[in-house]
């Protein structure tokens, strides 16, 4: 609980009032081809609340993200994450993400290359991606899980298209644990979203339909080179809603529903993003 409150306070200090103009994606897991504008800085605070199966505790996994547009085709981002449960919690690690857009102009399909280094522990539960197989469990206790550290490399091929008002995005994920001989783990994420209206109204309007994005995303694990097949993999489908409260700030919410026995019953996510010029 202390970790969660500390991260909330830090984020609130960083997102003090400034003029706003952001265009944030509606998804929590799926990535599209839109990057941060060059030399713009973005601060985000999100939380994943996991509702597990019987005899398993619910948990809150907050994370703070600091995103910077190095150029118009290269965005870098730092994540700090934590965990809070009835049986313990604490800091669970950090991640350094980079996204590169090889094509300068808009195309029918826009590819983005994603590379991430993770220094986390086995108590990590933000589930920013789902790969491999096997359910997440607290059976060994939070303290033991936090003592098990992992260094991981993750790559994604992001394909994204804009068709009329619709965004259609597909991600293929490959992850390699450098601390354990787990082989290569695979996963996926896909989403579709659109604004409620394409018609822009004149004047200031926070609750106009064009300020709301609605959609759905699906994500899950695809096994690994050591555990082929889809048995015991986790899969979710999640409606998403984003509200552009101002030009530079966005609120997001998602309710993910587990589709397999290995999945948590539900993953409730909320997020707030603020761009600082």
Q: Which residue has the higher pLDDT, 203 or 133?
A: 133
Tell me how far apart the alpha carbons of residues 228 and 222 are, in angstroms, rounded to a whole number.
8
Assign 184 to helix, strand or coil: strand
Mean pLDDT on 217-237: 94
Q: Which residue has the higher pLDDT, 19 or 56?
A: 56
- CA 94 to the chain's CA centroid: 14
Residue 3 has pLDDT above 60, yes or no: no
pTM: 0.89
Domain range for residue 177? 2-276
- C-alpha dist (Å) from residue 180 to 17, 52, 90, 105, 152: 44, 26, 23, 40, 9
Lowest mean pLDDT among 106-115, 203-212, 218-227, 246-255: 203-212
Most confident option among 50-59, 166-175, 223-232, 243-252: 166-175
Q: Are 120 and 90 in contact (CB under 8 A)?
A: no
- Can you give the pLDDT at residue 23? 56
Q: Are 128 and 78 in contact (CB under 8 A)?
A: no
Task: Look at the chain and report how many structural domains it folds into.
Answer: 1
Q: Which residue has the higher pLDDT, 167 or 15?
A: 167
Mean pLDDT on 260-274: 97
Residue 140 has pLDDT above 80, yes or no: yes
Mark 101-135 as b/e (b = at least 16 C-beta within 10 Å).
beeeeeeeebebebebebebbbbbbbbbbbbbbeb
- Can you give the pLDDT at residue 135? 94
- Can you give the pLDDT at residue 4? 44
- Can you give the pLDDT at residue 201? 64
Report the CATH number at residue 154. Answer: 2.40.160.40
Band of residue 58 on the pLDDT scale cut at 50, 70, 90: very high
Tell me how far apart the alpha carbons of residues 48 and 98 are, in angstroms, rounded to a whole number.
22
Q: Are 59 and 1 in contact (CB under 8 A)?
A: no
Residue 60 has pLDDT above 80, yes or no: yes
- Can you give the pLDDT at residue 2? 44
Residue 203 has pLDDT above 90, yes or no: no
Residue 264 has pLDDT above 70, yes or no: yes
- Can you give the pLDDT at residue 55? 78
Q: Are 80 and 7 in contact (CB under 8 A)?
A: yes
Residue 231 has pLDDT above 70, yes or no: yes
Q: What's the mean per-residue pLDDT of the chain?
A: 90
């Amino acid at each position: 609980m202390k970790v969660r409150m500390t991260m909330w306070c830090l984020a609130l200090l960083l997102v003090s009032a400034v003029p706003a103009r952001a265009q944030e994606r509606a998804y929590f897991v799926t990535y599209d081809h839109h990057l941060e504008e060059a030399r713009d800085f973005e601060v985000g605070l999100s939380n994943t609340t996991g509702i597990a199966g019987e005899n398993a505790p619910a948990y809150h996994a907050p994370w703070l993200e600091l995103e910077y547009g190095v150029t118009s085709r290269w965005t870098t981002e730092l994540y700090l994450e934590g965990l809070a449960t009835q049986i313990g919690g604490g800091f669970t690690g950090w991640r350094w993400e980079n996204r590169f857009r090889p094509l300068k102009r808009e195309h029918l399909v826009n590819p983005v290359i994603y590379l991430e280094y993770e220094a986390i522990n086995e108590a990590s539960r933000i589930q920013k991606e789902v790969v491999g197989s096997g359910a997440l469990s607290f059976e060994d206790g939070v303290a033991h899980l936090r003592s098990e550290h992992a260094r991981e490399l993750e790559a994604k091929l992001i394909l994204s298209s804009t068709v009329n008002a619709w965004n259609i995005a597909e991600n293929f994920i490959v992850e390699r644990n450098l601390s354990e001989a787990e082989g290569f783990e695979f996963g996926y994420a896909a989403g579709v979203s659109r604004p409620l209206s394409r018609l822009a109204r004149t004047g200031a309007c926070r609750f106009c339909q064009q300020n709301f994005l609605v959609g759905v995303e699906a994500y899950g694990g695809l096994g690994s080179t050591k555990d082929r097949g889809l048995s015991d993999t986790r899969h979710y489908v999640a409606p998403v809603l984003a509200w552009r409260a101002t030009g530079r700030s966005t609120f997001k919410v998602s309710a993910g529903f587990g589709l397999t026995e290995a999945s948590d019953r539900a993953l409730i996510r909320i997020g707030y993003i603020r761009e600082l010029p």
